[in-house]
Structure 1
Amino acid sequence: MSKKLENSLLFVWLVSLVATLGSLYFSEVRGYEPCELCWYQRILMYPIVVISLVAYLQKNARIAVTTAVFSCIGGTISLYHYGIQKLDFLSQHAPACGRVPCTGQYINWFGFITIPFLALVAFILIAITSFYMLKVLRRTNS
């Protein structure tokens, strides 16, 4: 396997690990209870940590298909979640999310960085890297 693919796998693992540790920090250390949409994002992010670590150790870049799918679905949820936090026309019609409202903003750094925004950035980085790996794999198999 090329060094580009190996580094890409390591990058996906690091991004997903930081995102996972960040979400655990907010919930377990800071005591912020996740809303329902946050749980869906976690459900899609946490497995990427394990999947990408195993793929890195096995030098298996074909896992990029799986990480691309997980990150695209997770990114879509994050984008919607961020939208209902920041866009009035979406927040007025946001569904009830259980005990914690999905429109709530535990953090609002610089007026735009919220927890779903951080998740969105992580999912985007993983998706871009996954598509890059797929492109490199296609090129090497041709």
Structure 2
Amino acid sequence: MRFRDLTLYIAWLIAVVATLGSLYFSEIRDFIPCELCWYQRILMYPLSVLLGIAAFYQDTAIKKYILPLSIIGALIAAFHYMEQKIPGFAAIKPCTQGVPCTTQHINWLGFITIPFLALTAFVLITIMLLLTSNKSSQR
């Protein structure tokens, strides 16, 4: 089995870990998600289900549906990360309700925040999908 045959499984695993990680931060650590975190969740959670089904059936045609979700998710996560790390950037569009989007619940090694973790997951999923071979097979 070649690496390209495993990329859907790897993308699915990344989506599941990201979903479980976000649930851990909100449900176990009691971090209340901000508005941009919710948008990222809205884009990540379906990937866990859709990529799992696609990996099971080796359906690479799912790429055209999943890539827009992962790319938009990466853009939102990058914007969120910039709001947290670039002074003055948050003034462009501050969150108006609930937890401010500039809140850093974690800050590991001085740069790893929750939006950074989401950005990493979305980028890795995008890369795995781009590396996926175009051949679909039915079980």
**Does the alignment reach a TM-score above 0.5?**
yes
1:57-97 deviation digits (Å, cap 9, x = unpaired): 11211111222111100000000000000001302333224
Tell me the equivalent position of 1:137. Answer: 134
In 2, distance between residues paired with 1:45 and 1:60?
A: 19
In 1, distance between residues paired with 2:65 and 2:103?
A: 31
Tell me the equivalent position of 1:80. Answer: 79
1:86-118 deviation digits (Å, cap 9, x = unpaired): 001302333224110000000000000000000
Task: Considering Cα pairs closer than 8 Å and 6+ residues apart, tell me whether 1 or 2 has the greater RCO.
Answer: 2
In 2, distance between residues paired with 1:19 and 1:97?
A: 26
TM-score (norm 1): 0.89
Give the counterpart letter for 2:8 in structure 1.
Answer: L
Unaligned runs of 5+ in 1: none
Unaligned runs of 5+ in 2: none
Asked if structure 2 preserves the Cα contact closer than 8 Å seen for 1:6 and 1:56, the reply is: no
Give the counterpart letter for 2:86 in structure 1.
Answer: L
Over aligned residue pairs, what C-alpha RMSD do you find? 1.4
Give the counterpart letter for 2:87 in structure 1.
Answer: D
Q: Does 1:34 align with 2:33?
A: yes
In 1, distance between residues paired with 2:102 and 2:54?
A: 36
Asked if structure 1 preserves the Cα contact closer than 8 Å seen for 2:14 and 2:124, the reply is: yes
Tell me the equivalent position of 2:53. Answer: 54
Higher share of residues assigned helix: 1
Aligned length in residues: 135
Asked if structure 2 preserves the Cα contact closer than 8 Å seen for 1:67 and 1:126, the reply is: no
Tell me the equivalent position of 2:95. Answer: 96
Provide the secondary structure at the position in 2 that maps to 1:42: helix
In 1, distance between residues paired with 2:55 and 2:91?
A: 44
Report the alpha carbon displacement of residue 45 of structure 1 after superposing the two structures with TM. Answer: 0.3
In 2, distance between residues paired with 1:66 and 1:104?
A: 32
In 2, distance between residues paired with 1:97 and 1:109?
A: 26
In 2, distance between residues paired with 1:67 and 1:132?
A: 13
Give the counterpart letter for 2:100 in structure 1.
Answer: P
**Alpha carbons of structure 1 residues 3 and 63: separation in structure 2 relative to 1, 3 Å:** farther
Runs of 4+ aligned structure 1 residues displaced above 6 Å come to: none
The more displaced of 109-118 and 87-96 is 87-96
Tell me the equivalent position of 2:107. Answer: 108
